[in-house]
Structure 1
Amino acid sequence: MAHPSEHPRVVVHAPALDGSRRVTSGDETLGIASHLDDVVEILRLADLDRVEVEESDLIEWEGGGPEEWPGLSEHHDQ
């Protein structure tokens, strides 16, 4: 069995009003993501770059999965 510190549980929280999503590991906030690429970068900076963001059991997506980024389409429609 893997030691908990080797594979911390990462939570991508439900979108805020601006569409951004907080990324945490335990009690620690790793960063704020506005896009899936941001989650990948936040995990890379936390030395978790070997995690498959969209498929990993180590990541819990609250309030929608990796494709849920409210407000993102508004930026592309301008």
Structure 2
Amino acid sequence: MASDRPVIVYPPDEQSGRRVRVDGTILGLAYSVRDVAAYMQEAGLQDFDEIDVARTALIEWRGGGPEVWTR
């Protein structure tokens, strides 16, 4: 991963999905921390789980942290 914080999780949309961008590429919508963990695994961090997602400094959470999934 190229930068210090290459993962951005955007604020929830109307359907409670949050866009996930890794190294400038939108990977899709996450509806839970589990979904974000799956995207992190796809990006090469195979051992990442929900706890890692909630604690890592690699993710920039916009519009609320890992506990926010509604507008």
Task: Decide which structure has the larger Cα Rg and report it.
Answer: 1
Q: Does 1:49 align with 2:68?
A: no
Which whole-Å deviations, capped at 9, do the CAs of 1:8-63 have from their partners, x for residues lacking one? 51000000111000000232112210111100111111112345211111100000
What amino acid sits opposite 2:13 in the alignment? Answer: A
- Which of 14, 25, 33 in structure 1 is aligned with 2:11? 14
Give the corresponding residue for 2:32: 35
Q: Percent identity?
A: 35
TM-score, structure 1 normalization:
0.73
2: CA distance between counterparts of 1:6 and 1:50? 19
Greater than 3 Å deviation, 4+ residue runs? none
TM-score, structure 2 normalization:
0.79
SS at match of 2:29: strand
Q: What count of residue pairs does the alignment treat as equivalent?
A: 68
State the Cα RMSD in Å: 2.2
